[in-house]
A and B are shown apart, each in its own frame.
Chain A
Amino acid sequence: MERKFIQGNEACSEGALYAGCRFYAGYPITPSSEIMEVMSVRLPKVGGVFIQMEDEIASVCAIVGASLGGLKSMTATSGPGFSLMQEGIGFACMAEVPCVIVNVMRSGPSTGYPTGPSQADMMQVRWGTHGDHPMIALTPSTVQEILTETVRAFNLAETYRTPVVLLYDEVIGHMREAITLPKEGELEVVDRARPNCPPEEYRPYDISKGEIPPLAAYGEGYRFHVTGLYHGEDGFPTGNTKLIEEANKRLLSKVEKNREKIWKNEDFYLDDAEIGIFAYGVSARSAKFAVKELRKKGIKVGLLKPLTIWPFPDKAVREMAEKVDTIIVPEMNLGQISLEVERAAGGRCDVRGIYRVDTEPIHPQQIMDAILSREELTLPTELAERDMTDG
Chain B
Amino acid sequence: MLSIRELSAWYGAVEALHGISLEVAEGERVALVGSNRAGKTTTLRAISGLVGRRAAELTYRGADLQHTNPYAIPALGIAHVPEGRQIFTGMSVIDNLLVGAYTHKQPVQRRERLDLVFSLFPRLAERRQQAGDTLSGGEQQMLAIGRALMASPSLLLLDEPSQGLAPRIVDEMYEALQRVAQTGVTILLVEQNVSLALDFASRAYVIENGRISLHGSSEELVNDERIRASYLGI
A and B from one complex:
no
